Copies of this chain bind each other. A is one copy, B any other.
Amino acid sequence: MYDDELQEIRDLQLFRNMATPSFDSLMQAAYSQDFPAELQLVRQGARANFLHVLVSGRVELFAEWSGQQTTMAIVEPVTSFILAACLRDAPHLMSARTLQPCKMVLIPAADVRAAFRRDTDFAVDAAGELAESYRSMVRHTKSLKLRNARERLAAFLLRQSEAHGGSPGFRLPHEKRLVASYLGMTPESLSRAFRSLNEYGIYNKGVYVTITDVEKLRALASPDSLIE
């Protein structure tokens, strides 16, 4: 594993306060690997063998039931994922696949559990990470249960705009069908939701989005730090 990769992992909230010997021995057991796009990394129902850290590329967490799939989250680097299943030593509730070629570091789940029991600072940070994951899933659920398709899209776009420093124009971060699935609608409905947002000052052409009237959009999305 390269030093800069190691350092990026060390800088993650999850590993920042870990004792150096714990970290080093964890990293000895870990290995870095490159994956092609569209590769399934994790299958829901399987046991968690590795804590994954995404170093570059993008990963989709999705859920399957009865022949359907839905996007639950999109992981951006540098982030760890599937910590909960690793710590519980339980079957994955979600599947994961690469969206692009990805570089990842895989840390054996058993070593993560051992470090976690040995190193209080790590346990504290792991709990923090889990608490954040939980809260983020609560937000997602709230959005699904309390907003309609148009409102969810409006809120999503506002958040994107904020992620771009409040810029009125930006590119969508993902393919539209991925956005649609994440937001809990079909691609067709996403298309229609975009058009219906014209009257709220949203213009969309391909991957480009322009917001001409943020206030009007805010009024619709009622953005709320308690949702997303």
Contacts and interface: CB of A to CB of B under 8 A. Distances in A.
Interface of A: 44-45, 63-66, 68, 70, 72, 83-85, 87-88, 90-94, 116-117, 120, 123-124, 126-128, 130-135, 137-142, 144-147, 184, 222, 224-227
Contact of A134 (B70, B134, B184, B227): B134
A135 B81 CA distance: 13
A132 B131 CA distance: 10
A119 B224 CA distance: 35
A117 to B, nearest CB: 6
Contact of A124 (B68, B123, B140): B123
Copies of the protein in its oligomer: 2
Nearest to A133: B134
Given A87-B128, A130-B130, 12 more contacts: A65-B142, A65-B146, A72-B142, A84-B130, A85-B135, A88-B132, A93-B142, A117-B120, A133-B134, A137-B138, A137-B141, A144-B145
A93 B135 contact: yes
Contact of A116 (B127, B132, B139, B226): B127
B93 A145 contact: no
Contacts of A127: 87, 116, 123, 126-127, 130
14 contacts: A63-B142, A64-B146, A65-B227, A70-B142, A70-B145, A84-B130, A88-B135, A92-B226, A94-B138, A116-B124, A126-B127, A130-B134, A133-B134, A144-B184
